[in-house]
């Protein structure tokens, strides 16, 4: 599916300066950033988090992580199929183009979902305002770097990444809202310092 003119204009305006700053050192860094949201990395961290939460008998939180990550990825896969947007040309890519469609970016979406929900749970568990701020800023920076890496490496259009961010945030907010309502129904305070007992 071809994108509207204003979308392609946005993509071109962002791509040009990003491609202009490519260097071998920066390319190596961006490749490491993109690995943070590879399928294997996402599965490993998600599984580890769920097992740890289950071991600590934090079953509601474990279910939340699964719902956010698996549900959001399913939405992303559906969106790719419906939109069917082709990726940028291989001539501009620094790594092999994945066989899937471009829109939305799966890596950018996965980063929002996984690191977003983990940051949400960590912030609720931390007592220090400074620690909560650090976790929040760190999660946002990591998510931004993953998205930027996909554009820098030439495997996604900038609008693919922006759409993934919006979709991921919307799904994350929806899931965490349901989670907090569930806690309230159980009579558990939904404060930043308390989780399900």
> How does pLDDT run across 155-184, given as a tens digit for each residue?
998 999 999 999 999 999 999 999 998 888
188 SS3 class:
coil
Q: Does residue 3 lie within any of the structural domains? A: no
- H or E stretch including 17? helix 5-20
pTM: 0.87
Query: What percentage of the chain has pLDDT greater than the value 90?
Result: 60
Numbers of helices and strands, H then E, in the chain = 7, 0
Question: Based on the structure, what is the number of domains in the chain?
Answer: 1
Within-domain flag for 6: no
Whether residue 7 lies inside any domain: the answer is: no
For the range 185-192, what are the long-range contacts, defined as Cβ-Cβ under 8 Å and sequence gap of 24 or more? 191/124, 192/123, 192/124, 192/126, 192/132
> DSSP secondary-structure letter at 103?
S
Contacts of 55 (CB under 8 A, 6+ apart): none
Domain that holds residue 174: 24-185
């Amino acid at each position: 599916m071809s994108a509207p003119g204003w979308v392609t204009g946005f993509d071109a305006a962002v791509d040009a300066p990003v491609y202009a700053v490519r260097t071998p050192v920066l390319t190596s860094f961006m490749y490491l950033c993109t690995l943070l949201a590879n399928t294997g990395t996402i599965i490993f961290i998600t599984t580890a988090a769920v097992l740890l939460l289950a071991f600590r008998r934090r079953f509601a939180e474990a279910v939340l992580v699964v719902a956010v990550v698996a549900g959001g990825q399913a939405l992303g896969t559906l969106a790719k199929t419906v939109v069917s947007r082709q990726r940028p040309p291989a001539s501009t890519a620094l790594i092999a183009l994945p066989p899937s469609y471009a829109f939305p970016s799966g890596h950018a979406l996965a980063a929002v979902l996984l690191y977003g929900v983990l940051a949400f749970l960590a912030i609720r568990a931390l007592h220090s305002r400074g620690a909560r701020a650090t976790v929040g800023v760190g999660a946002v920076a990591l998510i931004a770097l993953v998205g930027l890496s996909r554009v820098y490496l030439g495997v996604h259009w900038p609008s693919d990444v922006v759409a993934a961010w919006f979709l991921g945030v919307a799904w994350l907010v929806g899931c965490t809202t349901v989670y907090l309502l569930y806690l309230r129904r159980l009579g558990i305070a939904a404060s930043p310092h308390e989780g399900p007992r």
